[in-house]
């Protein structure tokens, strides 16, 4: 079962990277419909692991000595200017980069249990999109 889910996570990211965003989103939606909340946390971690690999490739000279976080261009608090689902994706990936599983789990639980029924799906979709874009950035020139 876990291998099938891992294959679907890889397919979702691959579809995004290949520009087939609707197919990518459909794979994620199917996973959300068929998996338990705890398995979907694993899906989120799997997606973030791919983002981590892409970011480590792009920033390898800093990757082992830094703390990853979220900043805004104007210095404001991220909560003031970044939409919640985008902030979730950025913070979830940063937590994964920092090996901070407590924060990653807290972020996931907050999104999943939100009173807004649209927040969690938007968070997962944005996590997938951000990961796909990180892979594209890390592999430009790789026949894409």
> Confidence class of residue 141 from pLDDT cuts 50, 70 and 90?
low
CA atoms of 25 and 48, how far apart (whole Å): 16
* pLDDT the model gives residue 58: 84
Count the neighbouring beta carbons within 10 Å of the beta carbon of residue 39.
15
Report whether pLDDT(89) > 50: yes
DSSP string over 60-116: TTTTTT-------TTS--HHHHS-HHHHHHHHHHHHHHTT-HHHHHHHHHHHHT-S-
Question: pLDDT tens-digit profile of 57-77?
Answer: 887 765 556 777 777 777 777
Q: Do 88 and 129 meet the contact criterion of CB atoms below 8 Å apart?
A: no
Number of Cβ within 10 Å of residue 22's Cβ equals 8
Lowest mean pLDDT among 20-29, 59-68, 96-105, 115-124: 59-68
Q: 144 pLDDT exceeds 50?
A: no
Q: What is the dihedral of CA 126, 128, 134, 135, to 10 degrees?
A: -160
At residue 80 the predicted structure's pLDDT band, cuts being 50, 70 and 90, is confident
Q: With CA atoms as reference, report the closest residue to 104 among 43, 28, 53, 20.
A: 43
**Per-residue tokens: 126:** 């944005």
Q: Which of 21-30, 76-85, 105-114, 130-139 has the lowest mean pLDDT?
A: 76-85
**108-112: average pLDDT:** 97
Residues 6+ apart with CB under 8 A from 8: 27, 30, 31
pTM of the model: 0.89
How does pLDDT run across 2-53, given as a tens digit for each residue?
A: 889 999 999 999 999 999 999 999 999 999 999 999 999 999 999 999 999 9
């Amino acid at each position: 079962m876990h291998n099938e889910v891992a294959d679907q996570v890889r397919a979702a990211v691959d579809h995004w990277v290949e520009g087939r965003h609707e197919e990518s989103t459909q794979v994620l939606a199917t996973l959300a419909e068929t998996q338990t909340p705890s398995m979907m946390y694993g899906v989120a971690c799997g997606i973030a692991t791919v983002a981590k690999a892409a970011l480590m490739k792009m920033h390898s000279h800093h990757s082992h000595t830094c703390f990853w976080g979220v900043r805004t261009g104007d210095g404001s608090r991220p909560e003031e200017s970044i939409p919640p689902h985008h902030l979730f994706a950025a913070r979830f990936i940063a937590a994964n980069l920092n090996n901070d599983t407590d924060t990653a789990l807290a972020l996931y639980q907050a999104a999943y249990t939100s009173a807004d029924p649209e927040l969690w799906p938007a968070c997962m979709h944005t996590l997938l999109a951000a990961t796909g874009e990180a892979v594209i950035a890390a592999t430009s020139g790789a026949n894409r």
